Amino acid sequence: MRGGLRLPGPYSGDAAWAANRFPQDGHDDRWNEPEPPLFSLPATRAAARIEAPGIGHGGNGVIVWMKQKRRTWPLLRFVSRRPRRWVFLGVVLLLGCFVGYFYRSEVAISAIWIPDMESISFGKKPLPPPLERTQITNYTLPLGTKGRHIVDVEGRRFKLASINWYGASDELFVPGGLDVQHRKVIAQTIKKLGFNSVRLPYADELVSKNPVIDARLVRANTDLVGLRALDILEAVTTTLTEQ
């Protein structure tokens, strides 16, 4: 072919055949020449010849290099085509987790405690006798301090043996166990175990809001049903003092 241009390197073929196909008149013999093969392109590209209408017997042969599309996973294509659907499903899943969490919390609060066999057998065993030195009745009240020691009126040293009764400082604002045992039974058990003082913490919010306590939390103390948090706390401290 006239005016042919060979490409160096791994590419083979004649790059000038497309330029030579522009006819000067309607009877150019170059249209009868066989077309050279397309370039041998790298694997990442593809060649295509687009026939466009032009001058002469045919059209202008134009070689176009097109970059192949990157392969994507079907799941990624599905997500990219429907992003709103995935956002909606994510919001629904998140709301479902919150609803399930609050539902399980409510079920746990309303469930009745059933003791296991080990707790039942322990409750049937007699408690050991308390130590005499821990009994407050053996000392003359009121108590005071002398240096770093706690003493009674007669100057005898008194040692605290305390137990913690939690619940009033938590989010429910009520001492624990009032739905299982009467407060008098709990106070007597504390004394029988040899404790002479009780740590009874409470929350500042209990004093400021003083909410009405749920009846399920004091079901073993029917006289406390319908009372507020401060009234229940006062009833518990009064029962402990009477023991």
Domain limits for position 121 = 84-125
Q: Does a structural domain hold residue 225?
A: yes
Which of 50, 53, 54, 15 has the alpha carbon at shortest distance from 35?
Answer: 15
The pLDDT score that the predictor gives to residue 222 is 92
Instruction: Please give the DSSP secondary-structure letter assigned to residue 212.
Output: B
pTM above 0.85, yes or no: no
C-beta of residue 1 within 8 angstroms of C-beta of residue 33: yes
The pLDDT score that the predictor gives to residue 16 is 47
Alpha-carbon distance 56 to 60, whole Å?
9
At 92 the three-state DSSP class reads helix
- 142 cis-preceded (ω within 30 degrees of 0): yes
Beta strands, E only, 10-121: 45-53, 59-67
Q: Does a structural domain hold residue 16?
A: no
Q: Give the list of residues 6+ apart from residue 242 with CB closer than 8 angstroms, or none.
A: 187
Q: Does a structural domain hold residue 93?
A: yes
The pLDDT score that the predictor gives to residue 45 is 44
In this structure, the number of other CB atoms found within 10 A of the CB of residue 5 comes to: 10
What is the pLDDT tens value at each position of the chain, 243 positions in all?
444 444 444 444 444 444 455 444 445 555 555 555 544 444 444 444 444 444 444 444 444 455 555 665 665 666 666 667 777 778 888 999 988 888 888 887 777 778 788 888 877 888 777 777 777 778 888 889 999 999 989 988 988 888 999 999 998 999 999 998 999 999 988 988 888 889 999 999 999 999 999 999 999 999 999 999 999 999 999 999 887
Same domain, 114 and 188: no
Q: Does a structural domain hold residue 208?
A: yes
Q: Does a structural domain hold residue 190?
A: yes
Last residue of a domain, one of 125, 147, 175: 125
Q: Give the list of residues 6+ apart from residue 14 with CB closer than 8 angstroms, or none.
A: 1, 4, 5, 6, 36
Which of 34, 33, 23 has the alpha carbon at shortest distance from 57?
Answer: 23
Amino acid, single-letter form, for residue 142: P
Same domain, 168 and 111: no
Amino acid, single-letter form, for residue 21: R
Q: Does a structural domain hold residue 8?
A: no
C-beta of residue 96 within 8 angstroms of C-beta of residue 122: no
Alpha-carbon distance 211 to 229, whole Å?
6
Q: Does a structural domain hold residue 131?
A: no
In the block, residue with structure tokens 């006819």:
23
Q: Does a structural domain hold residue 217?
A: yes
C-beta of residue 236 within 8 angstroms of C-beta of residue 190: no
At 143 the three-state DSSP class reads coil
C-beta of residue 47 within 8 angstroms of C-beta of residue 41: yes
Phi-psi sector, 60: left (phi>0), alpha (psi -120 to 50), beta: beta
DSSP output for 159-175: ---EEE--STTSTT-S-
Q: How many domains does the chain have?
A: 2
